[in-house]
Amino acid sequence: MILIYTPEGGDKQEWKFSLGRVRVKEREQVELRTNMSWGTIKASLEEESTAALKGLLWMMLRRTHATYRWEDVDFCDEELTLVVEAEDYRRGRKEIEDHPALSRADKDQKIAFLDTLIAAREAVEAELAAEAAARGEVSEGKAQAPSDDTPTP
């Protein structure tokens, strides 16, 4: 995932990360502030929950500014973008495949939807990489801008 924060009158900040690689210490802090479990936060990000997005932004800002206060995190929709990459969808697909409580029909339905998202995001990522290469830019490790063509769950 890529979190892009462009505060009005401020500099654009980008963080590339995996929700599965967030340390317990940070998870606990975000859970405490949002009053949500980490699993709920992950699911709520897909629904663009304000509390989940604020918790994520607060966590990222605190990585650079350890004293950043929860009360100081304020943004409007246009200032914050969460980009879900194809790899994130692939991880979600694997979790569904391995989920013991889901029926085969439920798994098939969810996997079909994720396969559509994966294909769409891979196409966008390939297009962005080709455009960057044409400009002579190295895109590896660099966050790419989201596309309005990418479906969201």
pTM of the model: 0.70
The pLDDT score that the predictor gives to residue 145 is 47
Reference 53, options 26, 77, 20; nearest CA is: 77
pLDDT tens digits along 47-79? 889 999 999 999 999 999 999 999 999 999 999
pLDDT in tens, the chain (153 residues): 999 999 999 999 999 999 889 999 999 999 999 999 998 998 898 888 999 999 999 999 999 999 999 999 999 999 999 988 888 888 888 888 998 998 999 889 888 888 888 888 888 888 888 888 888 876 554 444 444 443 344
The pLDDT score that the predictor gives to residue 139 is 55
